[in-house]
Amino acid sequence: MPMAFVLLNTEIGAEREVLTNIRKTEGVLEAFNLMGVYDIIARVKADSIDGLYKIISEKLQISKVHSKTTIVITDKAT
């Protein structure tokens, strides 16, 4: 199952609101506030790479998000 980490930058002061919305999004396994360059990190999983793309490009289109960086996991250590 394809998985990715998505790093998000939000409007100043909107981190909590955005985090709440992201945690409600189907396919998001977990999400956390960060300190540093990015405001939020989310772990996203789907049944296919197309499904993963759809979650990231459509379902994570949340207001007050300025930018997203996606890191797709290509190999999972066993």
Contacts of 71 (CB under 8 A, 6+ apart): 4, 5, 6, 7
Q: Is the pLDDT of residue 6 over 90?
A: yes
User: What are the structure tokens assigned to 48, written together?
Assistant: 């296919």
Q: Is the pLDDT of residue 75 over 70?
A: yes
Report pLDDT for 40.
97
Report pLDDT for 78.
58
Buried b or exposed e, range 41-53, using 16+ CB within 10 angstroms: bbebbbeeeebbe
How does pLDDT run across 20-72, given as a tens digit for each residue?
999 999 999 999 999 999 999 999 999 999 999 999 999 999 899 999 999 99
Q: Is residue 63 part of a domain?
A: yes
- Tally of structural domains, the chain: 1
Q: What is the CATH number of the domain that holds 9?
A: 3.30.70.920
Q: Is residue 78 part of a domain?
A: no
Interatomic CA distance for residues 11 and 75, integer angstroms: 33
Report pLDDT for 14.
96
Q: Is residue 10 part of a domain?
A: yes
Give kind and range of the element (H or E) at residue 32.
strand 28-33
Structural domain for 46, as ranges: 3-73
